[in-house]
Structure 1
Amino acid sequence: MNLDKVISGFFIILAMTLNFGFFYGDMNSLESHSKYELLAAIVVNIIATTLKLGDKTQMGSVLLATSLVADIQLIAAASIWTIAFYAYSITPEIIGIIISLSGGALLANIVSVTLYVGDTLKSKR
């Protein structure tokens, strides 16, 4: 068993599940979306991204790209939420933007997990 692959896979899948946990809920209400879960999703996505940095293969490049997309979208969602909370007011449009950005990050994480599982199944022992 390759411990590096286990740790990397753990963080890739955890990033997706935390992102799904934040995304799932009422699209028009922030009460069903925890800011702490968004923070956890950001932190775990950044950890997953750093674990993908050493891979020099083509698959590693694609996995890194999907992880960077998820990072950017989750950080953008948190930034918009923070700016709207402190500088403006949180409107239904802002809520939609926050949830939509996390949905885009979720899609990037799903692609990443799918590619990771496919690469694992394809690899020889």
Structure 2
Amino acid sequence: MNSEKVISGFFIILALTLNFGFVYGDFDVIAYHSVYELVAAITVNIIATIMKLGDKTQTGSVLLATSFVADLQLLAAASFWGIVNMTSVMTPELFTIVVSLAVGALVANIISVTLFVGETLLLKR
């Protein structure tokens, strides 16, 4: 068993599940979406991105690109949430933008997990 793949897979899948946990629920109900879960999703996504930096394969490049997309989307969601809270009142319509950005990151994480699993299945013993 390759411990590096286990740890990498753990963070890639954890990033997906935390991201899903944040976006799950009605988009316009702020109470369904925890800021702490968003922070956890951002943190784990960044850790997963750092772990993908050493992979020099073609699949590794695509995995890294999906990680960058997810990081960018989640950071944009958190930034938008913070800016709106500092300048005005968060309305359900504005909060939908936050969750929509996080859904974009979720799609990138789904692609990343799919590629990771596909690459793992193609490895020969």
Q: Same fold (TM over 0.5)?
A: yes
Q: Runs of at least 4 residues of structure 1 off by over 6 A?
A: none
Q: For residue 41 of structure 2, what is the aligned residue in structure 1? A: 41
1:15 matched to 2:15: yes
TM-score norm. by structure 2 comes to 0.98
Q: CA deviation at 1:120?
A: 0.2
Paired residues in the alignment total 125
Give the equivalent residue in structure 2 for 1:103.
Answer: 103
Equivalent position SS for 1:27: coil
The answer (yes or no) to whether the contact 2:30–2:92 under 8 Å persists in 1 is no
Query: Structure 1 unaligned runs (5+)?
Result: none
**Residue 99 (structure 1) shift:** 0.5
In 1, Cα distance between equivalents of 2:105 and 2:45: 10
Letter aligned with residue 25 of structure 2: G
Offset at 1:52?
0.1
Partner of 1:69: 69
1:57-84 alpha-carbon deviations (Å, 9 max, x no partner): 1000000000000000000000000111
1:80 maps to: 80
Report percent identity of matched pairs: 67
In structure 2, stretches of 5+ residues that fail to align are none
Match in the other structure for 1:124: 124
TM (normalized to structure 1)?
0.98
